[in-house]
Amino acid sequence: MTLKPFNFPAKRKTTIFLLTAAATATVAAVSQASNSDDLSPFPDFSAEIHGFVRTARAVSTVASTIVDYELSLRGLHRDSDQYRQTIPQVHLRCAKRFLKLCEANKGFYVKAGQFVASQRVIPKEYSSTLSALQDQVSPLPYNIIKKVLKDNLGPDFTDMFLSVDEQPIAAASIAQVHHAVLKSGHEVAIKLYPQYRFEWLPSAFAESMSSELDFVQEAKNSERAAKNFYNNKMVRVPHVFWELTTRQVLTMQFCSGHKVAKSLMELFAEMIFVHGYIHGDPHPGNILVSPEGCNGFSLVLLDHAVYRELDEEFRKDFCQLWEALILKDSKKTVVLGERFGAGKFARYLPIIFTGTTIESKYALGTSVEEKETMKNELKSLLFEDISSFMESVPPEFIAIMRADGLLRSIIRKMDVSRITRLLTYTKYAVYGRLCPKLDGECKMARTNYYFTVKVAVFSLISTLRYILILIKVSIGTIDGIPWRQKVKNTLNYLSSKISGDFWGLMVHSVFLLLCIRPTALF
């Protein structure tokens, strides 16, 4: 029996994707007592009713969505003008329906909605509508918050604070944050959540969620990230007040600022390629830009609940893979892909990470013909192929794909070019391949002369290698690119990079000289 190609119609593809997210949240629904005042860890009849109501609401929403697509698009050909006029209306209608579901069921449903909103494969009507869930979440009543603080910090917890704002400054899908002032005068942010009933969930999922909602682990992750970025003055991680931190309550330094996505590429490129320690939830609500910093601002990295640590060999192999992707080294890409467990699907790695085919002659772009080829290749994939690929690659690989996907979703909204992302990743991949995994403790030891010299030497070598790669990409070793196109690529890159910064100007002036006379410095 011949398997049919994995090519769902748009109306079914979107519905199935959303159905999966809704089903995941539905499983979790019975664990939460609709934000009631009862925080007992033992299930009661009220919890069962709330769980049933949530489940019924979710099933009704999904069923209504399927019927809406089927009836609204019945008899319409996908290439017809009427279909093109109707489908955005159906998408928007159903997206609003799912938004209403998430807002009504709260908790894990909001988490699922946030995940759906960050995906590139769904229609823009869904991503724009569900993006409201990133910040606009109904807060828990303060009497619940007060009980959590009393249970975790003691009945006299109010004696530790000058003030605690009853209105939250942020309400996420599960936890929320309140501003407070300690008796010492320090401004702090208190992040907390009520006790959810995880015994109702399947054991594997319950274990995962319990781990994610362990604020002691989040605090440890936060401190490790702070050590990793100790010498990076552009990044700040709030200080943790351990004496006021438990599994349910996290008290940390209060940092004011505005949410931003700009400059995130270098931050996450350093995490992936250099530290090998990746923040697992880089959505806009977890990044602030503060007016404090050596350059007039600094990034504040929040929510350290989920991290993935890369094995050292894996990290270096991924650095090599990225170099191979940029240099269009198809043989090395396939070899490294097989090492990661991708097998026959290694040829699709350029499509996943750089948006080019493995046969592409362009490192930083695609021709019309190549785009058509890529489209046909993706159409030929079977559902079993995608499932097999996801199961065969290690969890570290999936973690990078997820973080990169969320990051791309953010920078796309900020009009950051795709080429900027590719070159930023390349710079850190080159450095990460040459350097050992940087340990935060070593970076903090400024008296470690050997370590400082070694880092400086590696930085110089990696900078030279990065320039060499840029030369190869622009004018040197990629066959089949007309010389006029090579010059155009070089000028476009230079015009996007040269700024008022003196050292940036110097580096790119040297780069331009090398483009004109490759032997100028040799």
Alpha helices by DSSP H, 414-482: 418-434, 440-444, 449-471
Residues serving a catalytic function are 281
Contact between 136 and 129 (Cβ < 8 Å): no
Helices (H) and strands (E) in the chain, counts: 20, 11
Q: 3-class DSSP state for residue 43?
A: coil
Question: Kindly report the CA angle at 212 between 208 and 215, in degrees rounded to 5?
Answer: 145
- Other C-beta atoms closer than 10 Å to the C-beta of 342 total 22
Contact 208, 218 (CB under 8 A): no
- Other C-beta atoms lying within 10 Å of the C-beta of residue 519: 6
Length of the chain: 522
CA dihedral 145, 146, 147, 149 (to 10 degrees): 90
Q: How far apart are the first and last CA of the chain?
A: 62
- Phi-psi domain of 254 (left: phi exceeds 0; alpha: psi -120 through 50; beta: other): beta
Q: DSSP for 123-168, please give it.
A: -HHHHHHHGGGGT--PPPPHHHHHHHHHHHH-TTGGGGEEEE-SS-
Using a 10 angstrom Cβ sphere, with 0-12 exposed, 13-18 middle and 19 or more buried, the burial of residue 137 is buried
Nearest residue to 277 (alpha-carbon basis) of 229, 336, 219: 229
The percent of the chain in helix, strand and coil, each rounded to the nearest 5, is 60, 10, 30
- Token pair, residue 173, equals 């899908």
Q: What SS3 state is found at 120?
A: coil
In this structure, are residues 485 and 493 in contact, taking their beta carbons and an 8 Å threshold?
A: no
